[in-house]
């Protein structure tokens, strides 16, 4: 019990990775954790596409940079998309922080719980990674741009089912550097009525 809570509280988003690939055994545990997440009506319609091929990761990154480049933004655009557009102008930009493993979570386009189910699976994977002493981070660029023509074609070529949309993605690898400290949690986000 204590270990589970400690795992939840100690998980952090990691944005700097060593080049070494994660062990296949660890990847299996992470995917098993994903598949054991709850899903609406036990649908389990998700799909997990694991990308560990450097060339393919770089190709995805190229399309993400191109998508940012084409994107029109204004002051109402979501803050992370605006800052992503600026960051992506840099040649060295990597939406997956050069992590060795990217796991793309997709789900049925017309299924109402697609995002909720996928988010449950994603959190399970982030926690499993932390329990295995691996760094991980949610990365959202494929959710934003997954329907762009080039990206969609590549995702399908990589094994994403045609009827699916991208609901999220995570990166996993060995952390390079110290564990970051937790960002301050906001006050007044809870109401308890007894
Ligand atoms: C839906 C969602 C999308 C996110 N997208 C990104 C992202 O694209 N890139 C990134 O570096 N972090 C991303 N994050 C991670 C958040 O920035 C991070 O969880 C938050 O700053 C709190 O830090 P912590 O995870 O270390 O507690 C995302 C998190 C969520 C839940």
Q: Give tens-digit pLDDT for 47-60.
A: 999 999 999 999 99
Residue 73 to residues 77, 82, 85, 183, Cα–Cα distance (Å)? 6, 7, 9, 27
User: For the chain, what is the domain count?
Assistant: 1
For residue 1, the model assigns a pLDDT of 64
Domain that holds residue 42: 2-173
User: What does the CA dihedral 23, 25, 27, 33 come to, rounded to 10 degrees?
Assistant: -150
- Is 12's C-beta closer than 6 angstroms to any atom of ligand 1? yes
- Is 13's C-beta closer than 6 angstroms to any atom of ligand 1? yes
Instruction: Please tell me the distance between residue 170's alpha carbon and the centre of ligand 1 in angstroms.
Output: 10
For residue 2, the model assigns a pLDDT of 74
Q: What is the CATH number of the domain that holds 48?
A: 3.40.109.10
- Is 139's C-beta closer than 6 angstroms to any atom of ligand 1? yes
To test the ligand 1 pocket, which listed residue (140, 142, 145, 180) has its Cβ within 8 A of the most ligand atoms?
Answer: 140
Task: Read off the tokens for 12.
Answer: 């952090």
Q: Which residues touch 61 (CB under 8 Å, ≥6 apart)?
A: 93, 94, 95, 96
User: What does the CA dihedral 151, 110, 167, 121 come to, rounded to 10 degrees?
Assistant: -140
Q: Residue 193 domain-assigned? A: no
Collapsed DSSP state (helix, strand, coil) of residue 133: coil
Are the C-beta atoms of 81 and 135 separated by less than 8 Å? no
Atom 3 in ligand 1: residue holding the nearest Cα: 140
Instruction: Please tell me the distance between residue 102's alpha carbon and the centre of ligand 1 in angstroms.
Output: 15
* pLDDT tens per residue across span 121-164: 999 999 999 999 999 999 999 999 999 999 999 999 999 999 99
Q: Residue 160 domain-assigned? A: yes
Residue 91, burial from CB neighbour count under 10 angstroms (0-12, 13-18, 19+): exposed
Instruction: Give me the residues of the chain with pLDDT under 70, please.
Output: 1
Atom 2 in ligand 1: residue holding the nearest Cα: 138
Spell 29-39 as b/e; 16+ CB within 10 A means b. Answer: bbbebbeebeb
Q: Which pairing describes strands 135-139 and 47-51: parallel, antiparallel, or unpaired? A: unpaired
Q: Residue 190 domain-assigned? A: no
Atom 23 in ligand 1: residue holding the nearest Cα: 13
Instruction: Please tell me the distance between residue 64's alpha carbon and the centre of ligand 1 in angstroms.
Output: 17
């Amino acid at each position: 019990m204590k270990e589970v809570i400690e795992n939840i509280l100690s998980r952090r988003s990691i944005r700097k990775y060593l080049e070494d690939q994660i062990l296949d055994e660890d990847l299996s545990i992470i995917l098993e954790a994903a598949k054991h997440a709850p899903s609406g009506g036990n649908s389990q319609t998700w799909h997990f596409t694991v990308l560990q091929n450097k060339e393919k990761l770089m190709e995805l990154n190229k399309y993400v940079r191109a998508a940012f480049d084409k994107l029109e933004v204004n002051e109402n655009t979501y803050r992370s998309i605006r800052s992503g557009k600026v960051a992506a102008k840099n040649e060295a930009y990597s939406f997956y922080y050069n992590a060795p493993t990217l796991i793309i979570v997709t789900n049925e386009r017309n299924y109402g719980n697609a995002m909720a189910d996928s988010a449950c699976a994603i959190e399970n994977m982030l926690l499993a990674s932390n329990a295995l002493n691996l760094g991980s981070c949610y990365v959202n660029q494929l959710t934003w741009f997954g329907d762009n023509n080039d990206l969609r074609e590549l995702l399908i070529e990589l094994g994403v089912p045609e009827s699916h949309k991208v609901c999220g993605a995570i990166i996993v690898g060995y952390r390079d550097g110290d564990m970051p400290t937790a960002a301050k949690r906001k006050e007044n986000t809870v109401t308890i009525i007894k």
